[in-house]
Structure 1
Amino acid sequence: MLEEVTQLAEAGAATLVGVILTDTWEAARAGFVRLFRRGDEGQQAAIETQLVVGAELVRQAEDAEAARQSLAPMWRFQLAELLRQHPEAIAELSSWVEESRAAQPRTHWTAIQNVDTRDNSRANAVIHGNIIVHEAKPGLNAS
């Protein structure tokens, strides 16, 4: 259970800092603040303030990605504490992570291609491009 909480807190922090100042920031921020509704109003206000300050730090940073990454440990700690005090929040945080990640546009695609040939066969393959094969007529020397 402890490892699950740690991994979820890590995923939540990474997701949060990844969406700062993106098109989905406002919706993600509102959902994130709702996670802390279990505390008093002062805690929610403090979380909201930390989010605003963090976003401003990213906005003003020369290296926005480095600024985002510097915020992640604080949010990882905050989320781990939330889950330790309120284990019932695990499902809600997990759902928030999935929804927030799904709302982000995909900027990186991974393509995997496996090609197997056997016996007297030939394979021609390409990813993200064209392939043109000019067959030589049987009996003609290609030279």
Structure 2
Amino acid sequence: MLSEALESLAAAGGSAVVGAAATDAWHTARAGVARLLGRGDDHQERYAIERLDHTATELEQAADGTRQQLRDKLQNRWAGRLEILLEENPEAAHELRELIERVRAELPAAQQSWVQNNTAQAGAIQYITQGGDINVGRGRSGD
């Protein structure tokens, strides 16, 4: 069973694959994911390329009204494949992390997404934002 951090990494990988389709980042994502999944086996790498190309084609042909639902489905599918990779090859986590960073750097700004993982333990409370301000404190009496 994967740790929460590796599950999040696999999910970020699935998001990067789908987000890269039909962008200039596709070549990087396609080649990198195929290499990761192939793990040195040319046959497995070619099979991964076929699956990746099928993903790109599905997204390209999707009707506007169903595109987001399809994107979600494909992100989950790729996340699942990457989870299997990480279960079988935990050492691939570093490679996947680097690939995600390269793909995101090549995406248009509007398509870049960010993942923030936070863990509170032993009854702790966290106040977290990725943008904007958080004001934490007790109000004055009578407020």
Does the pair score TM above 0.5?
yes
**Displacement, 1:100?**
0.8
Contact 2:24 2:106 in 1 (8 A): no
2:80 is matched with which residue: 63, 66, 77? 77
**Displacement, 1:113?**
7.0
Give the distance between the partners of 2:93 and 2:61, measured in 1 at CA: 33
**Displacement, 1:112?**
3.5
- Structure 2 alignment gaps of length 5 or more: 113-129, 135-143
Q: Residue 12 of structure 2 aligns with which residue?
A: 11
Q: Residue 98 of structure 2 aligns with which residue?
A: 95
CA deviations on 1:116-142 (whole Å, 9 max, x unpaired) are xxxxxxxxxxxxxxxxxxxxxxxxxxx
Quick check: which has more Rg, 1 or 2?
A: 1
* Count of residue pairs the alignment pairs up: 115
Q: Helix, strand or coil for the counterpart of 2:102?
A: helix
Give the distance between the partners of 1:113 and 1:93, measured in 2 at CA: 32
Give the distance between the partners of 1:105 and 1:78, measured in 2 at CA: 25
**Displacement, 1:111?**
6.4
- Structure 1 alignment gaps of length 5 or more: 115-143
Return the TM-score normalized by structure 1: 0.70
Return the TM-score normalized by structure 2: 0.70
Residue type of the alignment partner of 1:48:
I
Q: Residue 36 of structure 2 aligns with which residue?
A: 35
